[in-house]
Amino acid sequence: MREAFNAIVALLSTALQALHGMTGSYLLAIVLLTVGIRIVLHPLTRKSLNSMKAMQTLAPQMEVLRRKHKEDPRQLNVEVMNLYRANKVNPLGGCLPQLLQLPVLWALYAVLRQQGLFGGDTLFGIPLGNAPSLPDFIQHPLLVLLPLLSGLTTYWQQKTSMAASMTDPQQARTMLIIMPLMIAWFATKFPVALSVYWISSTVLYVIEYYIVVGPPKGGGVAPPREQRKAAKALRAPGSQGAR
């Protein structure tokens, strides 16, 4: 397992050096490498997003079932699984492809943390391999764009994907606050190269989402009209929620 991970790290390092040789810029090389990785992993991302899209379609019926069986969690689980089976939706379909991508993303993270990798290349006056410090932010005010863009792109990603995957408004609001702030804080502690990668990768993911799923259709909680339609469908004879 360790050997496979090291092989991926070596491959990504070689690719980064090759892109640097072509462009003469490590900054551009990081962005191009990120694009290449997202293209290679797109079949897995597409599978995950298609599962997310299917879950989004079922969101109104899921909300109706939660309201109907809020006092009976066991029956709720039964009804939810029946709903999944009836619509041929795998609730893990969005998670497994993401897990398969993690070794590659961790390997890229390991590559970008290598000391002395980027020579003298800088962004806003800070070497790509360095983490910005408070004096750096004071001396180079434009550095604030790194945590700002890291947080904003994370918020964009969260808001986009939660439209398909969350039905709890309170949980969604909490995640929309916590995750962007946490990533923005990380951007002040990690090497500049990692922030460039994170911003690029997040923007590309949202683009993939729009291509596969389409524009978000709300926050995931079914509006009243959709809930009434879903409730009527569930009460119809032969439906999995009918008694």
Report pLDDT digits (tens) over 151-185: 999 898 888 776 555 545 566 667 778 888 998 99
Q: Of the ranges 8-17, 38-47, 86-95, 121-130, which is most confident?
A: 8-17
Please write the tens of the pLDDT for every residue from 43-74: 888 887 887 777 777 777 877 887 888 777 78
pLDDT, position 230: 47
Q: How far is CA 110 from CA 10, 13, 56, 172, 183, in A?
A: 10, 10, 34, 31, 18
Q: What is the mean pLDDT of the chain?
A: 79
Residue of 204, 194, 203, 192 whose CA lies nearest to 142: 192
Torsion angles phi and psi, residue 201, rounded to 5 = -65, -40
Please write the tens of the pLDDT for every residue from 181-197: 998 998 898 888 989 99
Please write the tens of the pLDDT for every residue from 111-121: 887 777 888 88
More reliable by pLDDT, 202 or 228: 202
Work out the number of other CB atoms within 10 angstroms of the CB of residue 137. 17
**Can you read off the two tokens belonging to residue 18?**
């090759």
pLDDT, position 227: 43
Q: Which of 56-60, 81-85, 97-101 has the lowest mean pLDDT?
A: 97-101
